[in-house]
Chains A and B, each alone.
Chain A
Amino acid sequence: MSQGIIRVVLPAHLRTLAQLGSGEVQLEVTGPVTQRSVLDALEARYPMLQGTIRDHVTQERRAFVRFFACQEDLSHESPDAALPDAVASGTEPFLVVGAIAGGIY
């Protein structure tokens, strides 16, 4: 995997919305690899995802969306903090996850 190619795994509903099938997304990210730069690149390629992961106005993570990578929950990290090297190198994917519903529906 070449430097700068980031792998992103999306939840099923967002893959359907972006017409992605079952695979992961590979994105080219220039500059620092952070939550913000990865999501910016994702939304630039798939504009229909704008507002589904982050709020349109505040750009904050939606409450029931989580960010995982390398078996860590990065949801509460700063959006401008560097993601793990394994994500930046493309060895590990950046996971966008819908929080479990707890059986409400």
Chain B
Amino acid sequence: MSKVRVLVGTRKGAFILESDGKRQKWDVSGPHFAGWEIYHVKGSHVDPNRLYASQSSGWFGQIIQRSNDGGKTWGPMDNKFVYDGVPGTHQWYDGTPHPWEFKRVWHLEPSLTDADTVYAGVEDAALFRTTDGGTSWHELSGLRGHGSGSRWQPGAGGMGLHTILPDPGDPKRMFIAISAAGAFRTDDGGTTWKPINRGLHSAMLPEPTAEVGHCVHRIAMHRSRPNVLFMQKHWDVMRTDDAGEQWREVSGNLPTDFGFVIDVHAHEPETIYVVPIKSDSEHFPPEGKLRVYRSRSGGNDWEPLTKGLPQSDCYVDVLREAMAIDSLDSCGVYFGTTGGQVYASADAGDSWNPIVRDLPAVLSVEVQTLS
């Protein structure tokens, strides 16, 4: 019988939640790496027992952990993330040049084809790769070396590279996103990159349609259609049908188009999910009602999903890494909140239940569907 394993990163450790395919009864293990911030935990697509975790702390910096047994045991790997060559500068908040400084790993993206190859998105924004299971990391500096790099500027949460989407149909193509530089694509395995932000409009920029500078919060893709991407931007939910050459807004009837997460149904490429957040100055659900919105038409027409979710006095946030989708026949949807709840739906969002209620603030949620 199929199983699912949910990997949860929180402000104070990692947790692993496991259930059978019914997804009704859950075993919770953790905290792993208690007391540390766990920005992300993700499993290999090739070997599901191979897990990688980003563990960090303001005191002691970055640790990368690896498990070979599905999270039962872990071991620290290389944590040396050194920018290639002379790092140069990007823009600081006041517009002055600021040296690139490594702070932490925001996102770990295991390769689709090799358990020892993993991409790491870091703050200050850069892309690193290991091809030896985390024993060493090397920067793919063509991204940061793109001509616009010196103009990138951090958002209030830092200048992190948070989204890494390998193209399942083209091993040389990959999409990434940076707050607040925007989205980029490589077509040559990471050697060169191009900004793919045409169609985005950000009123906070002096030039709202600038080539870079957009605060992209998250991008999602369905494996069967890698040219179709969905984006939750700072404001606006966007869509592209040509691998980012042109975006168009699909916010439609959402109560607010601010938010962080976005994801795609496992079996229905036009079914997408977001969690609207009131605004960039009020990071909680509108009206104190926690609602996932689902569109079955690839955007524009959205329906609120509320069954099992708190519909009064709820003022949590759902951060950009904190939604995931399993691939069971009845698609499961998961998300975590800054209030420490992880909610699961075993029926594609029609109804929800909390798996756990009282974790530390949830930073990331991933799910593995295990046979």
A contacts, CB < 8 Å to B: 11-14, 16-17, 48, 50-53, 56-57, 62, 64-65, 98-99, 105
Contact = CB atoms under 8 A, between A and B. Distances in A.
Interface of B: 11-12, 34-36, 57-63, 76, 79-80, 82
Q: Which of B34, B35, B36, B79 has the most CB of A within 10 A?
A: B79
B59 A62 contact: yes
Given A52-B63, A57-B82, A105-B11, A13 B76 contact: no
A48 B74 CA distance: 13
A51 B62 contact: yes
Contacts of A12: 35
A56 B82 CA distance: 8
Contact of A53 (B12, B60, B79, B82): B60
Contacts of B59: 11, 13, 62, 64-65, 98-99
A52 B62 CA distance: 7
Interface of B is mostly: loop
Given A57-B82, A105-B11, A51 B35 contact: no
Contact of A51 (B11, B58, B80): B80
Contacts of B60: 11, 13-14, 17, 52-53, 62, 65, 98
25 contacts: A13-B57, A13-B59, A13-B60, A16-B34, A17-B60, A48-B76, A50-B79, A51-B61, A51-B62, A51-B79, A52-B60, A52-B61, A52-B63, A52-B79, A56-B79, A57-B82, A62-B59, A62-B60, A64-B58, A64-B59, A98-B59, A98-B60, A99-B59, A105-B11, A105-B12
A17 B57 CA distance: 12
A56 B79 CA distance: 9
Contact of A50 (B11, B57, B58, B80): B80
Contacts of B63: 17, 48, 52
A12 B62 CA distance: 16
B80 A56 contact: yes
Contacts of B61: 51-52, 62
Contacts of A105: 11-12
Given A48-B76, A48-B79, A51-B80, 14 more contacts: A11-B59, A11-B60, A13-B35, A13-B57, A13-B60, A14-B60, A50-B80, A52-B63, A53-B60, A64-B59, A65-B60, A98-B59, A99-B59, A105-B11
Nearest to A66: B59
A40 to B, nearest CB: 16
Contacts of B79: 48, 50-52, 56
A54 B245 CA distance: 43
Contacts of A17: 60, 63, 76
**Which of B11, B59, B63 has the most A CB atoms < 10 Å from its CB?**
B59
B34, B57, B62 — most chain A CB neighbours (10 Å): B57
B259 to A, nearest CB: 25
A105 B34 CA distance: 13
* 6 closest Cβ pairs, A-B complex: A52-B60, A48-B76, A64-B59, A98-B59, A56-B80, A51-B79
